[in-house]
């Protein structure tokens, strides 16, 4: 299982930490990408080293793209380079695991069109025009198509939904 972790400035690791730990327990390592291929600081104040940038090719065998929530500025989730990467990833047949504000990245890239999703209600309300072509369902986890979304309230349930969908033991 090849995993890509999208590390944006001020990403929150808490809601995706169980997923990343599950990947490690499978003796795999997530490939970390950032907008520019350089280090990135998380909301918790940690510094993440990047393996690459969103402008690089998507690994052809990638089966999971993890997009955490975070304290994102619009210039992060609305970055056209990120949109292009996410659209290219969507052609691989892999799954997106987006939590909290990470769903903004998928919505602004046009990937949520017609799909059901969840996210924090205040995020959906604040950015309502981005979600006009998708269906918001309040709740901790929603799975539709190749998108597994979380409102960020239950990291363990998010982990279980992702690994069950991938049909992988942890």
And the tokens for 60?
């052809």
Question: Which residues touch 162 (CB under 8 Å, ≥6 apart)?
Answer: 19, 22, 64, 95, 97, 148
Cβ contact 139:109 at 8 Å: no
Cβ contact 89:96 at 8 Å: yes
Vertex 143 angle, CA 58 and 78, to 5°: 50
What's the whole-model pTM score? 0.96
Domains annotated for the chain, with CATH where assigned, are: 2-165 (3.40.50.880)
pLDDT in tens, 62-115: 999 999 999 999 999 999 999 999 999 999 999 999 999 999 999 999 999 999
The answer on pLDDT for 41 being more than 80 is yes
């Amino acid at each position: 299982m090849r995993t890509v972790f999208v590390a944006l400035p001020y990403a929150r690791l808490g809601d995706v930490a169980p997923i990343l730990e599950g990947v490690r327990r499978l003796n795999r390592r997530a490939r970390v990408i950032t907008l520019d291929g350089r280090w990135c600081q998380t909301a918790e104040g940690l510094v993440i080293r990047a393996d690459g940038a969103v402008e690089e090719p998507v690994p052809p065998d990638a089966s999971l793209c993890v997009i955490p929530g975070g304290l994102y500025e619009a210039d992060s989730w609305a970055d056209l380079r990120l949109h292009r990467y996410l659209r290219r990833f969507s052609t691989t047949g892999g799954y997106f695991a987006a939590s909290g504000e990470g769903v903004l990245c998928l919505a602004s890239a046009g990937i949520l069109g017609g799909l059901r999703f969840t996210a924090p209600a205040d995020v959906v309300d604040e950015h309502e025009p981005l979600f006009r072509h998708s269906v918001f369902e309040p709740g901790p986890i929603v799975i539709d198509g190749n998108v597994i979304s979380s409102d960020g309230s239950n990291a363990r349930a998010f982990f279980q939904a992702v690994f069950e969908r991938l049909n992988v033991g942890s």
